[in-house]
Amino acid sequence: MRAVKSTFVILWKCWFIFLATFFVLTIGIFWTFPLAFSSKTFPLAYKGIRLWAILIFYGSGFRLDLHRNKELNKNQPYIFISNHTSLVDIMLMAIIHKQHPIVFVGKAELAKLPIFGPIYRRICIVVNRSDTRSRTRVFKLAKEKINQGNSIVIFPEGGIPDDESIVLDQFKDGPFLIAIATQVPIVVYSIKGLKEMFPWSWSRGFPGAVKVKLIDLIPTENLSLRDKDKIKATCFHKIHEDLIEA
């Protein structure tokens, strides 16, 4: 019985990869990539990113259970943060932000992938965390993107923890330094369920409802770099408390 279940899970994940690849080769190449070269056409490119995310997410059998206790200003850029447990987190951020074109801050390693890499470099801010110059460049580019009216998505854990027992890994400073430097509000989300539904293991996982909650909206006006550790701890605590809540 376990072997049969594992076979179905593997087939389901192969289907997910097929969808992701197919829509990169179609939407990514012919829609998103050519429109992402200019700040004027990036909102149109973002529509392609959202369509890519929607088709893969719902096409793989996932459902969205979104709870927001605060309304976002469609004319205000934000720094969006959440816990990071799955590749699907990226799609969720695009799906739930229709009125806020977002730019992801992501790992430089993904930019080396064939076909996907050039698209990734065009629509994301790529960072090599071992390179000081790369980290400095991220702050410069993030400010530029925000000034163009875009919002920024950063997963403050810096990646998906290898240890699945970790509820929430330590936060990096980046999101909070950018938010303070640009005086842009931080929107704090939690994502529940994907650690179990879509783990790295090929033999485990299942489609279902993913719970996404807007926990808080934290202003950064009049904050200085001295407040960085405090605001980072506040955001960590809010997400951690929500994740362990039954």
pLDDT in tens, the chain (246 residues): 788 889 999 999 999 999 999 999 999 999 999 999 999 999 999 999 999 999 999 999 999 999 998 999 999 999 999 999 999 999 999 999 999 999 999 888 888 888 899 999 999 999 887 777 877 889 999 999 999 999 999 999 999 988 889 999 999 999 999 999 999 999 999 999 999 999 988 999 999 999 999 999 999 999 999 999 999 999 999 999 999 985
The phi, psi pair for 91, rounded to 5°, reads -65, -40
Q: What share of the chain is helix, strand, coil (3-state, %, to 5)?
A: 50, 15, 35
pLDDT of residue 71: 92
Distance CA 56, CA 28 (A): 13
Q: Rounded to a whole number, what is the distance in angstroms from the first to the last CA of the chain?
A: 30
pLDDT of residue 128: 84
pLDDT of residue 82: 98
pLDDT of residue 246: 59
Q: Which domains does the chain have, with CATH numbers?
A: 63-244 (3.40.1130.10)
Write the CB contacts of 123 (distance below 8 Å, at least 6 apart in sequence): 32, 36, 45, 49, 103, 104
Distance CA 178, CA 19 (A): 34
